[in-house]
């Protein structure tokens, strides 16, 4: 094991890269607009302009509407931040744990992770040594796995695209497939960078909630920087800015405690009954309700339109061609909106890295866990299919998981908090949760994620969900399809909308029962 001095010297270089937060675009007259929009609601003289607002006169009004919960006036102003050197865990646990944001984040699927590119919680001495050594070992394993996975990834790639074999310009595509699988061993402490845009009210909520959840230390640091950027741009937000809630104010904090959560894990996994995503509840009469709703929109009697005819107008792309439009117009369409009336609830188990994509579907909300409450003393991880197709890859993958849990156990035995130790959990760590969705938003989600370019796990989960919906609602389930098949049924060409990113499989010719993929 390396000396503490060597580790601390290396850590100095890591800590020289603290979180970076920069406000790059913002709504002009943002706080004055809060008051202008509020006053416009009661104005007999028409629109109240921002420039006419005197905050010495109307500051109390802003404070009053904020305290009373009239927050739509705070939603007009938006703020775009550049964030760097923030952990994947912080992004998953905090920035992306709600629906009111927009992010564009660097992809671990397509961008290679660099050495010593991870968050370090407040540790010292031997605990610091163990943490840094473990994180470096995980990244070293990632690098080796990328090289080892090129062979099985290449074999599968050239099986799909035989005419590309021997052409060097496709080697980068194969390496990306290898990176996609190798990243499962990376720690969730791994740094990311992103654009992140939120409204004024969301930023104020961040300030209030920054000590909540799994990563309060990192959250407080990053959110403080975001707030300072806001106040530098528009100091008037100090009129309503609150102190953050204390950690003890959150239920999950009071429920935290030592111990192994293996019994919960066993119970949850047993309830899945072999599924990645298990249908556990749904509206029994959804097909009839949707049929009635279509007739209501069109003013038709039941004698004039059967249930199946009505359903097809809503979900059959050959009848409702808006379903094939890439702009996602269904929320604005009277007929398509009838799909809100059907809803489904699933128990799901996805790796941290797959769920980081699943949670981006903000209109299919879920109750995700306090991650430290799911940590077990024994290795607990997802292994992707490609990693099981090469013995050397699988051995290294499993060995890395064993050694990661040994390091986590060592940290916990030294009294390190579960918050700090959890940063070493790998991307492969399973997120166990319940997710619900109305059919309108679920339709869009499975359309995107049944694409063969989607991440393997979320693709598998989406297919699992579609097959179960077909069992309970066959007329609705048969039209839950990938984009290429929807476009084919709607007569929209080209069938694949991905252009150069075409997966190589004419999926529109397949039945969902025949869907199969490795990469």
Residue 471 Cα distances to 183, 267, 284, 478, angstroms: 35, 25, 12, 10
What is the pLDDT, as a whole number, of residue 252?
A: 81
What does the alpha-carbon distance between residue 399 and residue 392 come to, in Å, rounded to a whole number? 11
And the tokens for 369?
């866990």
Per-residue confidence at 184, pLDDT binned at 50, 70, 90? very high
172 in a structural domain:
yes
What is the pLDDT, as a whole number, of residue 163?
A: 87
482 C-beta neighbours (distance < 10 Å), count: 29
Q: Are residues 394 and 250 in the same domain?
A: no
Characterize the bridge pairing of strands 78-87 and 366-367: unpaired
Among the ranges given (145-159, 165-179, 211-225, 457-471), the one the predictor scored with the smallest mean pLDDT: 165-179
And the tokens for 447?
């359309």
Q: Are residues 421 and 311 in the same domain?
A: no
157 in a structural domain:
yes
Nearest Cα to 342, choosing from 282, 296, 280?
A: 282
Give me the domain span that covers residue 502: 281-352+431-514
What is the pLDDT, as a whole number, of residue 374?
A: 93
357 in a structural domain:
no
Q: Are residues 104 and 198 in the same domain?
A: yes
436 in a structural domain:
yes
Please say if the pLDDT value at position 470 is more than 60. Answer: yes
- The total domain count for the chain is 3
* CATH code, domain carrying 318: 3.30.1360
Average pLDDT on 90-109 reads 96
Q: Are residues 345 and 461 in the same domain?
A: yes
313-360 pLDDT tens trace: 999 999 999 999 999 999 999 999 999 999 999 999 999 999 999 999
Of 375, 408, 426, the domain-final residue: 426
Q: What is the pTM of this model?
A: 0.94
Q: Which residues pair with 78 in a beta bridge?
A: 199
Q: Are residues 230 and 333 in the same domain?
A: no
Strands of the sheet containing 102-105, edge to edge, are: 20-26, 78-87, 191-199, 102-105
Say if residue 441 is exposed, middle or buried (CB neighbours under 10 Å; 0-12, 13-18, 19+). Answer: buried
Question: 165 vs 236, which has greater pLDDT?
Answer: 236
321 in a structural domain:
yes
118 in a structural domain:
no
What is the pLDDT, as a whole number, of residue 257?
A: 60
Q: Are residues 461 and 495 in the same domain?
A: yes
219 in a structural domain:
yes
Per-residue confidence at 1, pLDDT binned at 50, 70, 90? very low
Average pLDDT on 162-179 reads 90
Say if residue 260 is exposed, middle or buried (CB neighbours under 10 Å; 0-12, 13-18, 19+). Answer: exposed
Please say if the pLDDT value at position 259 is more than 80. Answer: no
* CATH code, domain carrying 103: 3.30.1360.170
160, 505 in Cβ contact below 8 A? Answer: yes
Write out 375-418 in H/E/C secondary structure. Answer: CCCCCCCCCCHHHHCCHHHHHHHHHHHHHHHHHHHHHHHCCCCH
- Percent of the chain's residues with pLDDT above 90: 88
Q: Are residues 59 and 9 in the same domain?
A: yes
What does the alpha-carbon distance between residue 212 and residue 244 come to, in Å, rounded to a whole number? 9
Average pLDDT on 169-196 reads 95
Please say if the pLDDT value at position 191 is more than 80. Answer: yes
Q: Are residues 393 and 510 in the same domain?
A: no
Average pLDDT on 236-252 reads 92
161 in a structural domain:
yes
Q: Are residues 96 and 9 in the same domain?
A: yes
Average pLDDT on 444-455 reads 96
Q: Are residues 445 and 486 in the same domain?
A: yes
Q: Are residues 83 and 19 in the same domain?
A: yes
What does the alpha-carbon distance between residue 288 and residue 275 come to, in Å, rounded to a whole number? 28
> What would you report as the CA-atom Rg of the chain, rounded to the nearest whole angstrom?
25
Average pLDDT on 251-276 reads 83
Q: Are residues 180 and 196 in the same domain?
A: no
Please say if the pLDDT value at position 258 is more than 70. Answer: no
What does the alpha-carbon distance between residue 382 and residue 125 come to, in Å, rounded to a whole number? 32
What does the alpha-carbon distance between residue 145 and residue 394 come to, in Å, rounded to a whole number? 9
Please say if the pLDDT value at position 49 is more than 70. Answer: yes
């Amino acid at each position: 094991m390396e000396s503490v001095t060597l580790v601390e010297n290396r850590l100095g270089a890591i800590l020289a890269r603290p979180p970076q937060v920069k406000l790059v675009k913002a709504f002009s007259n943002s706080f004055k607009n809060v008051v202008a929009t509020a006053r416009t609601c009661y104005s007999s003289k028409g629109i109240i302009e921002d420039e006419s607002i005197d905050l010495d006169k109307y500051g109390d009004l802003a404070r009053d509407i904020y305290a009373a919960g009239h927050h739509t006036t705070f939603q007009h102003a938006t703020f775009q931040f550049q964030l760097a050197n923030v952990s994947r865990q912080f992004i998953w646990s905090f920035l992306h744990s709600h629906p009111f944001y927009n992010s564009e984040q660097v992809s671990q699927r397509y961008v290679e992770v660099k050495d010593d590119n991870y968050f370090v919680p407040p540790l010292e001495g031997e605990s610091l040594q163990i943490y840094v050594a473990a994180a470096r070992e995980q990244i070293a394993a990632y690098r080796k796995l990328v090289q080892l996975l090129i062979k099985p990834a290449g074999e599968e790639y050239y099986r799909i695209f035989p005419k590309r074999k021997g052409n060097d310009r496709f080697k980068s595509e194969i390496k990306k497939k290898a990176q996609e699988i190798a990243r499962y061993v990376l720690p969730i402490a791994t740094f990311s960078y992103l654009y992140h845009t939120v409204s004024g009210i969301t930023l104020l909520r961040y300030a209030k909630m920054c000590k909540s959840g799994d990563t309060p230390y990192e959250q407080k640091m990053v959110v403080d920087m975001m707030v300072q950027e806001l106040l530098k741009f528009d100091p008037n937000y100090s009129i309503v800015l609150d102190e953050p809630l204390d950690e003890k104010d959150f239920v999950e904090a009071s429920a935290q405690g030592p111990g192994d959560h293996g019994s919960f894990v066993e119970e949850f996994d047993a309830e899945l009954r072999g599924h990645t995503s298990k249908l556990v509840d749904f509206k029994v009469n959804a097909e009839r309700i949707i049929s009635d709703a279509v007739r209501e929109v069109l003013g038709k009697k039941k004698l004039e339109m059967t249930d199946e005819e009505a359903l097809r107008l809503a979900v059959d792309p050959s009848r409702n061609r808006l379903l094939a439009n890439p702009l996602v117009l269904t929320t604005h369409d009277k007929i398509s909106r009838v799909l809100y009336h059907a809803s489904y609830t699933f128990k799901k188990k996805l790796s941290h890295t797959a769920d980081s994509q699943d949670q981006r579907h903000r209109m299919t909300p879920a109750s995700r866990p306090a991650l430290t409450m799911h940590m077990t003393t024994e290795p607990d991880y997802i292994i992707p299919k490609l990693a099981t197709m090469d013995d050397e890859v699988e051995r290294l993958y499993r060995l890395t998981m064993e050694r990661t849990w040994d390091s986590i156990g060592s940290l916990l035995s030294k009294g390190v908090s579960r918050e700090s130790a959890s940063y070493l959990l790998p991307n492969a760590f399973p997120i166990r949760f319940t997710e619900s969705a109305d059919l309108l938003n679920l339709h869009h989600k499975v359309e995107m994620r049944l694409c063969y370019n989607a991440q393997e796990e979320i693709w598998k989960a989406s297919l699992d969900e579609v097959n179960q919906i077909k069992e309970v609602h066959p007329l609705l389930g048969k039209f839950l399809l990938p984009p290429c098949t929807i476009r084919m049924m709607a007569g929209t060409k080209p069938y694949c909308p991905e252009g150069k990113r075409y997966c190589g499989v004419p999926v529109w010719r397949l039945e969902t029962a025949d869907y199969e993929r490795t990469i």
